[in-house]
């Protein structure tokens, strides 16, 4: 289907996909939330499309915690050691049939790692863990919990993931043509690849060029907790000797992790950006937010022109579509899992009779309500809730066809799960009309260290047990992939209320949408791209400076929509409601099925990185050496490059090249607004040191002098040498 897949030739190497968490199956709890589920979906889709991809992650022997809520709504983290054999994991063996083990540096000693294999369809997922008999007790615990422990544990896990992944894939004989670091946790893999190239005889600088050329880095969140920062002292302590083997000064090396805040901070996102040439955010809005947040990496380049692009996230349809829909999809289009879908591929949705469409939706909801009853019964029984209140809590799950509103995701505070509680009277009015039976369901985990997130759960839980809310507002423990599936398939409405623009993408809303659920959400992340006004409701973020005022205004808008639009339509004009529900499936299945996402990664990132990597490796890496030399020259000469506007019409600028050649530069006139801005390249007049020959475009706000070289992956990656503002 990708006509020139051959450009990523498996015999030349595959795409190596590295991530700290993978949500492939609820039985393998090595994921915390959206990042992991997305990574799992990426592997499943690569398998469906037969793309050559291998993945590496960590096997957390205690997994991520299982959540229970006690009678007061306090979250408890249950830890269940996982049993690799029962989960279908196998120890990887080397060519001689010996169990493969990999060593990574750790302070004065080395850490021994087991290598496991878990097959995601055709895609192998290699999982590393430190629970190895040759390690000390403390070392064996390094990989026991996902996002567990303090900052040192996190650093050690990232050493295991980054350095360990490279060593494991090499031990398996793999030479990937592209390395995709899915979030900064895996960024040390670039360091290890640089070390390999240095050992092969390259300078540190040339090695970095070589490595970066094949590296794709995806950043996933604007939330600071998603960007690990380590101190220089930590790096010294744990990696000191290793860093010493890299043939460069420590100052230069650690500088690769410096961020805009300065100080002795090593920021993994900054490091990943400086050791990769292909970077992306995960939605249009997030791409822009990341460009601004990371603008310090490309000094002198207008933020919107930074080489950070975006690929909007998506979901694996065969995993999240209800069996009833899968069946119908497969009947209409037998090859539906093997290519990205078009709008025409969902015509079958409109072809269903009203009766059939409605009956599937009701069936999915009934299944969800039964699941909720079972789960709530167990939860309340364990917590010793009295019989009467238990009965009240479950009483409304038997209603014929209630409107079910769902909110389920990680309880990170920016997601504002309790936004609707800010006006309890109105919320109660929404939930207590007998002629419009409506249920509001919450589920989700907060990180064990996130007291704020846990407090949100507790408040919701408390509200759910109040006499006026009991049975109408439900808080259910134990969110995981299986429960997510039930919720996204059965809810009529999927709510999302992030603080704009913190929701990098969000994916649970996509899962609801493709099943016919209606999203009611702040226009942030994916929804700003998916919402067309007919397939759900988009809430404009309020631009108030005061967060309290903003929250109040957004809560009011949300309740207005739920009461005035959603409830009214659902109960008074079911035909129109169903039209929207079908429209949601028709428009959003093609846009947010993960085959589309893989195609985007393939065409915008993997293929260019493979080509770029090959160019850089040419002539035994001479290209990388020469490119590095050119960049050095540029660095010394750049401060002297000057631009001088001599005439607007005809456009003519004089550039003081300061010893550089005209071919080393490009001079362009353009705006600072990003991809849609039109650019005009000025031609060099070799007789004089002048550039010109085009009319000054009316929307141009700058004339910029940029470095130019065939081995640059992006024309803005080296920043601007000189800028003339056309005030």
Binding site for ligand PLP (CB under 6 A): 33-34, 37, 409-410, 479-481, 484, 506-509, 511
For ligand PLP, the closer of residues 326 and 654 by Cβ is 326
Q: CB 422 → ligand PLP: shortest distance, Å?
A: 21
**In which region does residue 63 sit, left (phi positive, over 0), alpha (psi from -120 to 50) or beta (all else)?**
left
Least CB distance from residue 27 to ligand PLP, whole Å? 13
Nearer to ligand PLP by Cβ, of 114 and 280: the residue is 280
Q: Which whole-number Å values give the CA distances from 478 to 142, 376, 445, 455, in the listed order?
A: 25, 11, 7, 16
Structure tokens at 304: 């919107």
Nearer of residues 80 and 663 to ligand PLP, judged by Cβ: 80
CB nearer to ligand PLP: pick between 33 and 536: 33
Task: Please report how close the Cβ of residue 507 comes to ligand PLP at its closest, in angstroms.
Answer: 4
Reference 315, options 600, 597, 17; nearest CA is 597
Least separation in angstroms between CB 339 and ligand PLP: 23
Of 238 and 526, which has the nearer Cβ to ligand PLP?
526
Pairing relationship of beta strands 679-685 and 665-670 according to DSSP bridges: antiparallel
Report the alpha-carbon distance of residue 230 to residue 154 in Å, rounded: 9
Q: CB of residue 148 vs ligand PLP: minimum separation in angstroms?
A: 18
Q: Is residue 481 within a helix (H) or strand (E), and if so which, with residue range? A: helix 481-490
Of the CA atoms within 13 Å of residue 578, those in its CB half-sphere come to 17
> Both tokens of residue 69?
């809520």
CA distance 437 to 430: 9
Cβ count near 90 (within 10 Å) = 12
Helix (H, G, I), strand (E, B) or coil at 59: coil
CB of 16 to ligand PLP, least distance (A): 24
**Residue 586 in 3-state DSSP?**
helix
CB-wise, 303 or 481, nearer to ligand PLP?
481
SS3 for 459-471 is HHHHHHCCCCCEC
Name the minimum Å distance from CB 479 to ligand PLP. 6
Q: What is the largest CA-CA distance in the chain?
A: 93
Do you find a cis peptide bond into 501, omega within 30 degrees of 0? Answer: yes
Phi then psi dihedrals of residue 491, to 5 deg: -75, 145
Which lies closer to ligand PLP via its Cβ, residue 302 or residue 490? 490
Among residues 104 and 484, whose Cβ is nearest to ligand PLP? 484
Question: Least distance to ligand PLP from the beta carbon of 506, Å?
Answer: 4
**Min separation Cβ 313 and ligand PLP, Å:** 8
CB of 491 to ligand PLP, least distance (A): 12
N-term to C-term CA, the chain: 49
What's the CA angle centered on 414, arms 411 and 419, to 5 degrees? Answer: 80
Minimum gap (Å) between residue 502 Cβ and ligand PLP:
11
Output 23 or 176, the one with its CB closest to ligand PLP. Answer: 23
Q: Which helix (H) or strand (E) is 38 found in, with range?
A: helix 34-48
| Dist CA 428 CA 417 (whole Å) | 16
Query: Judged by CB, which is closer to ligand PLP: 504, or 643?
Result: 504
Backbone angles phi, psi at 270, to 5 degrees: -60, -40
Contacts of 7 (CB under 8 A, 6+ apart): 607, 610, 611
Shortest CA distance to 455 belongs to which of 419, 413, 425, 496? Answer: 413
Q: How far is the CB of 589 from ligand PLP (least distance, A)?
A: 16
Q: Please say which residue, 143 or 507, places its beta carbon nearer to ligand PLP.
A: 507
Query: Which residues, at least 6 apart from 259, have a Cβ–Cβ distance to it below 8 Å?
Result: 229, 265, 267, 269, 270, 296
Q: Which is nearer to ligand PLP, 274 or 410 (CB)?
A: 410
In the complex with ligand PLP, the residue whose CB is nearer, 215 or 313, is: 313
Which of 39/127 has CB closer to ligand PLP? 39
Tell me the chain's radius of gyration from C-alpha atoms.
Answer: 27
Residue 282, SS3?
A: coil
**From the CB of 408, what's the least distance to ligand PLP, in Å?**
8
Smallest distance, ligand PLP to C-beta of residue 60, A: 16
CA torsion 82-83-84-88 (nearest 10°) is: -110
Residue 84 CB, shortest distance to ligand PLP, in Å, is: 22
- What are the residue ranges of helices labelled H in 561-685? 568-572, 574-592, 594-600, 607-637
Residues 6+ apart with CB under 8 A from 159: 104, 105, 106, 111, 188, 238, 239
CA gap 718, 710 in Å, rounded: 13
**Cβ-contact 298, 719 below 8 angstroms:** yes
Distance (Å, whole) CA 216 – CA 609: 7
CB closer to ligand PLP out of 445 and 684: 445
Q: How far is the CB of 615 from ligand PLP (least distance, A)?
A: 37
SS3 117: strand
Comparing CB distances to ligand PLP, the nearer of 189 and 313 is 313
Q: Which of 175, 250, 240 is nearest to 211 (CA)?
A: 175
């Amino acid at each position: 289907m990708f006509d020139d897949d051959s450009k990523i030739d498996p015999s030349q190497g595959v795409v190596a996909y590295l991530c700290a968490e993978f949500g492939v199956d609820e039985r393998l709890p090595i994921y915390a939330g959206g990042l992991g589920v997305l990574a799992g979906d990426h592997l499943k889709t690569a398998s469906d499309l037969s793309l050559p991809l291998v993945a590496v992650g960590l096997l957390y022997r205690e997994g991520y915690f299982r959540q229970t809520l006690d009678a007061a709504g306090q979250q408890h983290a249950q830890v269940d050691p996982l049993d690799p054999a029962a989960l279908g994991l196998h120890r990887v063996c080397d060519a001689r049939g010996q169990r493969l083990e990999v060593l990574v540096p750790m302070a004065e000693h080395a850490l021994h790692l087991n290598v496991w294999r878990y097959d995601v369809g055709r895609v192998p997922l290699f999982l590393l863990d430190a629970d190895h008999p040759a390690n000390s007790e403390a070392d064996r615990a390094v990989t026991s919990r996902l996002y567990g422990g303090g900052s040192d544990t996190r650093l050690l896990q990232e050493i295991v993931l980054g350095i360990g992944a490279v060593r494991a894939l090499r031990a398996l004989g793999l030479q990937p043509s592209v390395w995709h670091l899915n979030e900064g946790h895996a960024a040390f893999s670039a360091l290890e690849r640089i070390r390999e190239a240095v050992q092969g005889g390259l300078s540190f600088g040339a090695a970095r060029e070589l490595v970066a050329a094949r590296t794709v880095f995806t950043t996933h969140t604007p939330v600071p907790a998603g960007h690990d920062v380590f101190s220089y002292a930590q790096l010294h302590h744990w990696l000191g000797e290793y860093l010493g083997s890299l043939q460069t000064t420590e100052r230069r090396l650690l500088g690769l992790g410096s961020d805009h805040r300065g100080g002795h901070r090593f920021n993994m996102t900054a490091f990943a950006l400086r050791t990769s040439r292909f970077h992306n955010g995960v939605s249009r809005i997030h791409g822009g937010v990341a460009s601004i947040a990371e603008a310090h990496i490309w000094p002198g380049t207008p933020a919107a022109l930074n080489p950070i692009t975006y690929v909007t996230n998506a979901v694996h349809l065969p995993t999240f579509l209800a069996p009833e829909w899968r069946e119908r999809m497969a009947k209409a289009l037998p090859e539906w899992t093997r290519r990205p879908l078009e709008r025409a591929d969902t015509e079958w949705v409109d072809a269903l009779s009203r009766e059939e469409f409605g009956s599937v939706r009701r069936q999915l909801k009934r299944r969800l309500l039964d699941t909720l009853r079972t789960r709530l019964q167990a939860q309340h029984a364990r917590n010793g809730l009295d019989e009467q209140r238990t009965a009240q809590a479950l009483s409304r799950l038997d209603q014929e066809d209630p409107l079910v509103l769902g909110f389920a995701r990680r309880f990170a505070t920016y997601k504002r799960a309790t936004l609707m509680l800010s006006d309890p009277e109105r919320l109660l009015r929404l939930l207590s009309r007998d002629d419009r039976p409506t249920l509001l369901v919450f589920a989700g985990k907060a990180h064990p260290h996130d007291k704020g997130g846990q407090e949100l759960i507790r408040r919701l839980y408390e509200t759910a047990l109040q006499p006026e809310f009991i049975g109408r507002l439900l808080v259910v423990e134990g969110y995981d992939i299986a429960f997510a599936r039930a919720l996204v398939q059965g809810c009529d409405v999927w709510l999302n209320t992030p603080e704009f623009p913190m929701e990098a993408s969000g994916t649970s809303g996509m899962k609801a949408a493709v099943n016919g659920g209606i999203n009611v959400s702040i226009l942030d992340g994916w929804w700003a791209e998916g919402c067309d006004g007919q397939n759900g409701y988009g809430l404009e973020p309020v631009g108030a400076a005061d967060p309290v005022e903003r929250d109040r205004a957004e809560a009011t808008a949300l309740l207005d929509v739920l009461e005035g639009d959603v409830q009214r339509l659902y109960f008074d004009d079911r035909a129109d409601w169903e039209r929207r529900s079908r429209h949601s499936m028709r428009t959003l299945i093609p846009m947010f099925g993960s085959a589309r996402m893989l195609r985007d990664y393939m065409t915008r990132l993997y293929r260019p990185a493979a080509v770029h990597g090959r160019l850089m490796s040419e002539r035994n890496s001479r290209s990388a050496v020469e490119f590095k030399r050119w960049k050095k020259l540029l660095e010394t000469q750049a401060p002297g490059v000057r631009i001088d506007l001599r005439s607007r019409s005809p456009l003519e600028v004089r550039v003081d090249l300061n010893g550089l050649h005209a071919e080393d530069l490009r001079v362009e006139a353009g705006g600072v607004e990003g991809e849609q801005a039109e650019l005009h390249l000025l031609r060099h007049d070799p007789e004089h040191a002048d550039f010109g020959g085009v009319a000054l475009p009316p929307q141009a706000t700058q004339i910029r002098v940029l470095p130019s070289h065939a081995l640059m992956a992006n024309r803005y990656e080296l920043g601007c040498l000189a800028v003339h503002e056309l005030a």
